[in-house]
Structure 1
Amino acid sequence: MRVRERIRRSFTRHLFLKIFALFLAILLWFQVSRKGQEYLSFQVPVTVSHLPPQLELTRTSPQQVTITLSGPPGLSREVPPGSLNILLDGSLMHEGSTVVHLLPSMVSGPPGVHVDTISPRTVRLALEATIQKRVPLYPQFVGSIRGPFPSIRVTLSPDSALVEGGSRSLSRLKGLRIAPIDLSLLTNDKKQVLSVPLTLPVNAQFRIVNPRIVTVTITRVSGKKNHKAKEKQEF
C-alpha cells in the first residue's frame, strides 16, 4: 500500500507545473514543426477543360473554393493572387448533374507548394447537350426623335440569329434584341441605313454563331403622324 501511495503522490505532486510543462512542450513542438514554412489561404475559381464538343457546362456550384497552401518562406511572392485555380478534366463527363471530389492534384500552382486543405471538398456541375437554334431579332430604341414624331418603318437584315448553347438554356430563349438605336441621332433623310452590332445579353449561357452585325433600315412613312414605333418584347 505504501508503494501505491508513493506512486500516486509522485503523479499528483506539483500537478499544475507538470500540466504547464506539457503545454510548453506541445507548443514548442508545434513551433518547430512550422519552422521554415509559410501558410496562405486563397479563394480560387473552379474551371473545367477538355469538355466534349457536344456538351455545355451551364452551372458550377460553388464557383469558387478555399484552399490553404504551405511552402518555403517567400511563398506569397511565388503565388500571387489570381494565379491559382481548380482545374477539372471534363473529357469523360456526361450530360446531366455530376458531383466531383476535389483533390490536391487538381490545384494548379508552382512547384514546391503543398495543398493542405480544400473547402468544400466537392463541387456539383450541370452539363447539357449542345444544340443550335434560330431566334428572331428585335430592335430597341433610346432617346426620342427631334421635332414632330413621324411614322417610321424599321426592318432588320437578317431578322434572325443562329445561337448555340445548352439545350435547356436555349429552350427558354425566345428572341434577341440588337444594340439600342438612339432616335435623337436620326437625320431628316427619308431612309437611313445603320449597321448595328448584335451582342450577348449579360450572363448569357449561349453563343452567337451569326450574324455579328445587323443592317437596320429606318424609313419615314408620310401621311401618318404621331404614330410611335412599337417594339416587340424580348423574352
Structure 2
Amino acid sequence: MTYLSNLKKVLTENITLKIAALALSFLMWVSLSNDQPVERVLSVRLDYQHVPDGMEISSQTIATVDVHIRMPGRRRTISESDVAAYVDLKDATAGEKIIHLDPQKNARGPAGVEILKLSPPRITLFLEPTVQAMVPVEPAIDGTPAEGFAVVRVAVQPTKVYISGPESHVRRVGNARTETVVIDHHRATETAWVNINVADPKIRIIDTKPVQVIVEIAEKRKEVLIENLPVHVASDLGPINVRPKTIKVCVSVPLAFDTNALSDMIHVVANISELDLAEGKRTVEPEIKIQGTMSDSVKIVSIMPPVLEVRSAGRKR
C-alpha cells in the first residue's frame, strides 16, 4: 500500500506543471522536426533566353528539365512556378552547342530553397542563321465531281508565298500546301479562301492571310474533227482565189452534244477587206463563226491549216 500511495502521489502532485512540461516538450519536438530539410524534384520549363538577332535554334529542344531542390521542412509547399530554369545564349555563335546545366547558373528558386542539380545535366542544340525564301503554293483538292463533270483547271492566288526559318530547314521546303478543298459531287466551279501550311514546325509563313483556290469544274467534253468546211470570202474587191477552199476545224463539245449539227453551225470566213492584193498573194487567218442556240457549248481547239492564201482572181500566178 505504501508503494501505491507513493506512486499516486508522484503522478498527482504538481499535475499542472507536469502537463505544461509535457506540452512544451512536444512543441520542441515538432519545431525540431520541421527544421529537417526536405528534398523534392520539380519538372520545370526550360527557357532559351537572348538568342542572338538573325539566329535561331534549328534543332529539337528540351521543353522541361527536372530541378532537384532542398528546402526547410517548415516550408509547407512549393510549385513548379516558384522555380525557373534557363539557358542564356547571348554570346552564342552558329553551329553545334553543348551546354552544361549548372544548378547555380541555370536555375533559381525562392529564398531558402537550394538548387541541387538539373537533369539532364547537359543539352545539345544547333544555332543557324535565319533566312527567307519564296515557295510555290500547292492547292490540295479532294473528291470527285458529279457524274459527267470533270476538273478543268485548278488555280491558286497568290501562287507563291514567303517563308522564314533556320537556313537548313528553309532549303528543304518545296511548297506551302493549302487546306483541302472538297469537290465531291460538284457540278460547278468551286472558289474557296483557305489557309496554308508548311509541315516543318520550324518554318514560319510571313504572310498568313488566306489564299484563293479556284477549282474549275465543267461538263466532260469530247473533241470532234469537222472536215471539208468551205471558206467564204468577205470582200468587195471582186473575184478572189482562196487556197485551200476547204479547211478542217477541231472543236470541243460536251459528251451529250449532237455532233451531226456541227457542220451547219460552223462558218469559215476569209476576211480580206483590209488586205492589199495589188502586189499578189497574201495570207490571212480564217475566222471561225459558230452559230445556233448551242454555240456557247462549242470551243475551238485547232484550225487546219491555220492560214489561207488569197489573191485577186484577175492576177496571174
**TM > 0.5 between the two?**
yes
1:182-201 correspondence to structure 2 within 5 Å: 182-184=182-184, 187-189=186-188, 191-201=189-199
AA at the equivalent of 2:113: V
Partner residue of 2:203 out of 183, 203, 206 = 206
SS of 2:97's partner is strand
Question: By how many angstroms is 1:124 displaced?
Answer: 1.3
Q: What is residue 77 of structure 1 aligned with on the other side?
A: 77
Distance in 2, Cα, partners of 1:149 & 1:223? 5
> Could you tell me whether the CA contact under 8 Å between 1:199 and 1:212 is conserved in 2?
no
> SS in structure 2 opposite 1:170?
helix
Q: Do residues 119 (structure 1) and 116 (structure 2) align?
A: no
Cα 1:33–1:58 change in 2 (3 A) is farther
Larger RCO, structures 1/2 (Cα 8 Å, 6+ apart): 1
Which residues of 2 match residues 72-151 of structure 1 at below 5 A?
72-73=72-73, 77-80=77-80, 84-104=83-103, 105-151=105-151
Aligned residues: 190
1:82-120 alpha-carbon deviations (Å, 9 max, x no partner):
665521122211111111121223225444321112233
Query: Which amino acid is 1:158 matched to?
Result: P
**Structure 1: which 5+ runs fail to align?**
1-31, 226-235
Taking the TM superposition and a 5 Å limit, the aligned residue runs for 1:1-235 are: 35-60=35-60, 62-73=62-73, 77-80=77-80, 84-104=83-103, 105-184=105-184, 187-189=186-188, 191-201=189-199, 203-224=200-221
Pair 126,85 (structure 1): closer, same or farther in 2 beyond 3 Å = farther
Inter-CA distance 167–51: structure 2 relative to 1 (3 Å threshold): same
Q: How far does residue 193 in structure 1 lie from its aligned partner after superposition?
A: 1.9
Report SS of the residue matched to 1:161: strand
- The amino acid of 1:153's aligned partner reads R
Q: Matched residue of 1:131: which SS?
A: strand
Question: C-alpha offsets along residues 57-94 of structure 1, whole Å, 9 cap, x if unaligned?
Answer: 012565543321111347673214x6655211222111
In 2, Cα distance between the equivalents of 1:110 and 1:193? Answer: 58
Aligned equivalents of 2:51, 2:37: Cα separation in 1: 37
Seen in structure 2, the aligned counterparts of structure 1 residues 36 and 134 have a Cα distance that, compared at 3 Å, is same
Q: Deviations over 1:17-48 (max 9, x none)?
A: xxxxxxxxxxxxxxx89943222113334331
Give the match's secondary structure for 1:140: strand
TM-score relative to the length of structure 2? 0.53
TM-score normalised per structure 1: 0.69
Q: How far 1:121 moved relative to its partner?
A: 2.1
Residues 71 and 219 of structure 1: CA distance in aligned 2, closer, same or farther (over 3 Å): same
Structure 2 unaligned segments of length 5 or more: list them.
Answer: 1-31, 223-317
DSSP-derived class of the 2:98 partner = strand
**Overall identity of the aligned pairs, in %:** 21
> Structure 1 pair 143/220, CA: closer, same or farther in 2 (3 Å)?
closer
* Distance of aligned partners of 1:40 and 1:143 in 2 relative to their CA distance in 1, 3 Å threshold: farther
Q: CA deviation at 1:208?
A: 0.7
**C-alpha offsets along residues 136-192 of structure 1, whole Å, 9 cap, x if unaligned?**
1111123443444413311100011100001111111111211111223x7533x33
Cα separation, partners in 2 of 1:194 and 1:109, compared to 1, 3 Å: farther
Counterpart of 1:18 in structure 2 is: none
Question: Greater share of helix residues, 1 or 2?
Answer: 1
